[in-house]
Amino acid sequence: MFEGLRNKLQSIREKFGTSIRDAAGSDVREVEKPVEAPSPAPQPETVSAPVLPEAPKVAPAEPERVVPAPVKTVPVEPKKPEGIFSRVRSFVIERELVISEKDIEEPLTDLEMVLLENDVALEVSDAILAYMREDLVGKHRKIGSSVDDIVSTALRGALLKVLGDGFDLPAYIDSHERPVKILVTGVNGTGKTTSIAKMAHYLMGQGYSVVLGAGDTFRAGAIEQIEEHGRRLDVKVIHHQEGSDPAAVLFDTVDYAKAHGIDVVLADTAGRFHNRKNLMNQLDKIRRVVKPDLVVYVDEAVAGNDAVVRAKDFNDLVGTDAVMLTKADMDPRGGAAISIAQTIGKPILFLGTGQAYDDIVPFRPEAVVDELLGVEK
């Protein structure tokens, strides 16, 4: 996925590295770091001690005299004065590179152009550049550190910040009361119903039971389409006749799930554009009746900025909890995948990568960034 953007980012990383290495000659600073040497161990002092007196000599002709005992003095070694080696402060010179904004100004401009050319939204591109500046400018880097590692770490951190944390659907289901009700919305023609079938296949593979609700009663053939998916997957589909109230269909689907101990309800809805007021009002009614735990918006990755704008409009009008992008395998740019989470503040749940039921990938930001930066696994 996103081959075009991956190749461009590799080129940008090389430009950052070249620019920083070129700046090293003029921007290297020498930093003195004092290191105090240990003082020598103190020498023990000697003290004077009295000498015992000799026995007095006795003279018979003379009266006895007391002769004072002489005292021998043991010399005390004088305390050695501190020499130049007793307390030495040495200095270690370390060479550091302090990266300035001027050093990375040109590659930052190139990075901005690459992001915009690959359908990354302007506000998201601005955010990525701001994160790169924050991580690189003014930071001290030891000479000898890998410049490519420095740049890759900064770019990886910036991309992860805009991509968000992702969304662990099995963990969510395990922590909520059953059935977990997932309402799927989106623009007509983006693969919404097929995406529901892929979600069902994925969840069944994780050990969950699923029921499908045919809430798209507006589009001709929509009920037959989801019934066919149900037949192939051996999943129950609840439906009414074409043109019936979709809120009533999905209400019955939830009732069926409760009565049969089903883990997850996947509710289809009619594809709609935000400017179709009647359909948007209908979706609002469905939300009030069904009270979904999650609202998942589906759009095409290849739609680029259009997908980002539509996701924002849907989120503003009816609310969105997560996003699934279809046709990610056909998207060399990756702009929608990078932009949506930051723009609407909601995580990407899945990427659709083909036509088969198995062609669905839980969105893991770390894995996407590794692929974009060419990290081998």
Q: What is the pLDDT of residues 7-62, one digit of tens each?
A: 888 888 888 878 877 766 544 444 444 545 455 555 555 544 455 555 555 555 55
Q: Which residue has the tokens 């021998």?
A: 72
Would you say the C-alpha torsion 231, 203, 214, 272 has a positive or negative sign?
negative
Partner residues linked to 31 by β-bridges: 94
What pTM was estimated for this model as a whole?
Answer: 0.77
Would you say the C-alpha torsion 235, 240, 245, 249 has a positive or negative sign?
negative
Instruction: Print pLDDT tens along the chain (377 aa).
Output: 788 888 888 888 888 878 877 766 544 444 444 545 455 555 555 544 455 555 555 555 555 555 555 555 555 555 555 544 444 343 333 456 678 888 888 889 999 999 999 999 999 999 999 999 998 887 666 655 567 788 888 999 999 999 988 899 999 999 999 999 999 998 888 899 999 999 999 999 999 999 999 999 988 899 999 999 999 999 999 999 998 999 999 999 999 999 999 999 999 998 876 556 677 778 888 999 999 999 999 999 999 889 998 898 888 888 899 999 999 999 888 889 999 999 999 999 999 999 999 999 999 999 999 988 887 65
The CA distance from 254 to 237, in Å, is 11
Query: What are the structural domains of the chain?
Result: 3-35+87-163 (1.20.120.140), 169-364 (3.40.50.300)
